[in-house]
Structure 1
Amino acid sequence: MSTALRLPGAAVRAAGTFSPRAGAAVAMPFFAHVAKPRPVHADDAPTMSLARRRTLRIPGVDRRGVDVVVYEWGRGPRTVVLSHGWLGRASQLSALVRELTAEGYRVVAFDGPAHGDTGGRHTYLVDWLDVFAELQQRHGRFDAIVGHSFGGLAALVGVAGGVDAARVVTISALADADQILRGFQRMIGCSDAVMAQLRRRFAARYFPGDADPFAWLSAVRRPLPDGIPLLIAHDEGDRFVPFGESARIAAANPGARVMATTGFGHNRILAADAVLDAVVDFVTADAADLAPAPVRVLPAAEAVRAKDAAVVG
């Protein structure tokens, strides 16, 4: 269990023995709560210093308004949006920024609410969707969205829901929001009954009128529209998001290209040269060349070096 959740977890379990509703009430403040952001890694600082920085306003999960910090590199009509994961920040994706700007793309990234340099304490997937919508107003159709972990799920759900992107790349992505609930339950150590009540309480507070928002926040139940190419990269040894999530995403999106790696885990995969090459090749390829491809396993011994980034996504 996470150290930060050890004491809250004990409180949730104790309240849950009294009643599942009591346990859910205690758990609620900790679900969608974001820990203190990690600093920018030294290797990423030079790239971040070159960004054109601005803010955009979104409602935020509590609908009080959040000013999201946005970063932009490169110029021109071709735009790629990068979407970081939970407890991550835009700087995690610096290696991709360098690769894509070298290919002539305008690259846009952001720090989600309560992440990186964006303020707040709570956030959820809908905040990422609101950011995509605002960026679309400014930049028009995206040539691609590349999303890591939680940000990969957001990319899939966003494009399935109408965000206009020519292609999608996910790295270490979740297949649906239920996996977020399962992960939280593992960290907090509470019962299924408490989680069922937490699910209802969260929906009632943040999605009034929607009995089960987790149902549509799913890349399995809401696959990409026909004709949208998808590249899925995932490491078999990922300890944060099970590798099986990539198979679930692929099963819901026939024709997706799947790249399986070993030795990079959840975060180092973002800077693995073999993965960077695959993403750039996919983003820059002619549409006619994006036919389905078999799973490709890249053992760490054969793949080129990856940066040991000390971040969590």
Structure 2
Amino acid sequence: MDLALAAAGTSVRAAAALSPRWGAAVAMPLFGYVAKPRPVRADDEPTMSRARRHTVRIAGIDRRGVDVDTYEWGAGPRTVVVSHGWHGRASQFSVLVRELVAEGYRVVSFDAPAHGGSGGRRTYLVDWLDVFAALQERHGAFEAMIGHSFGGLATLVGVAGGIDAARAVTIAAPADADLLLSQFQAMLRYPDGVAASMRELFATRYFPGEPDPFAWLSSVRRPLPAGVPLLVAHDHGDRVVPFGEAGRIVAANRGAEQLATKGLGHNRILTDDAVLDAVLDHVRTPLSVSASALTPEVAPAAVEELDPVSVAA
């Protein structure tokens, strides 16, 4: 993978030497590319084998149509949607799925295009949003939406954009799309001129007619609607999405709660008992209780520091 990245970076920088726009044109197809899907862990197989499997058809990043695998557990009117991140898959939520089903919720998840069992090799956040809309059409309003990493950003953007969800949870999520573009630039080491052209090309290709898509793709510039309780969980040692992103999300969303952990990193946080307990408490807390607790005097987030655990981040 390092060799592939090095080769890609060399190609982008060579094109950039001729023109920043040429460099951006070479970099753009790489931005939405997803490597080979991660396998399902043995511990997650039993949960996945019990899922009711369906597909939804969405336009896809190239707007040519793509089938997305969806998974459903439990029954009843209270639907919780869980969304994986970049290079993730639905099976990562197996522990949380079992907990939510035991509490009486219907849980719905999916493998985004180019992830898990779904087809394709390229994707971007618009695909998550299209899946949310398709699932909403099928299941109606969501009791809660829970997203990890890139899926957490998609959750925030989706609810801010009109997806009907009573509550939201993000785990190890970035605050906006700017971080993703900055990280991509750091990986390929292309100059700022290419980065500026990348932003222009990105906006034109994926959000035609949108005057400022980066405001639209930001939980900071476009927070959740008032009255939607938000829990933001993030680990201090996260080496994929910096811990400071959690603070940016919380600061922009009045009354949001922050759960800060230590020693769990970017992925182990999904199966930590204390994090799972906090997520379950957030999902099942009556909205009237949540709303009454969020007075102007206590609007800043309450930060809970968990004791460090022995595993490495």
Would you call these one fold, judging by a TM-score over 0.5? yes
SS at match of 1:75: coil
Higher helix share: 2
Equivalent in the alignment of 2:8: 8
Deviations 1:211-250 (A, max 9, x none): 5422211111110000100000000000000101001100
Matched, 1:48 2:45: no
Give the Cα separation in 2 of the matches to 1:227 and 1:208.
31
Contact 1:12–1:188 (CA under 8 A) maintained in structure 2 = yes
Counterparts of residues 39-188 of structure 1 (less than 5 Å): 39-188=39-188
Task: Choose 81-90 or 192-201, whichever is displaced more.
Answer: 192-201
Contact 1:204–1:211 (CA under 8 A) maintained in structure 2 = no
Give the Cα separation in 1 of the matches to 2:137 and 2:19.
46
SS at match of 2:46: helix
TM-score of the pair, normalised by structure 1: 0.94
Task: Choose 36-45 or 228-237, whichever is displaced more.
Answer: 36-45
Runs of 4+ aligned residues of structure 1 deviating over 3 Å after TM superposition are 1-4
Are the structure 2 counterparts of residues 165 and 10 from structure 1 closer, same or farther at C-alpha, using a change threshold of 3 Å? same
TM-score of the pair, normalised by structure 2: 0.94
Matched, 1:200 2:200: yes
Give the Cα separation in 1 of the matches to 2:128 and 2:226.
23
SS at match of 1:38: coil
Give the Cα separation in 2 of the matches to 1:97 and 1:44.
10
SS at match of 2:93: helix
Return 5+ residue gaps in structure 1 as ranges. Answer: none
Give the Cα separation in 2 of the matches to 1:11 and 1:45.
40
Q: CA deviation at 1:29?
A: 1.5
Deviations 1:66-91 (A, max 9, x none): 11100000011110000100000000
Instruction: Give me the CA root mean square deviation.
Output: 1.6
Give the Cα separation in 1 of the matches to 2:304 and 2:154.
24
Q: CA deviation at 1:298?
A: 0.7
Give the Cα separation in 2 of the matches to 1:211 and 1:33.
25
Q: How many residues align?
A: 305
Deviations 1:79-121 (A, max 9, x none): 0000100000000111110110010100000000111000011
SS at match of 2:70: strand
Equivalent in the alignment of 1:298: 306
Q: CA deviation at 1:285?
A: 1.1
Are the structure 2 counterparts of residues 211 and 5 from structure 1 closer, same or farther at C-alpha, using a change threshold of 3 Å? farther
Q: Relative contact order: is structure 1 or structure 2 higher (C-alpha 8 Å, sep ≥ 6)? A: 1
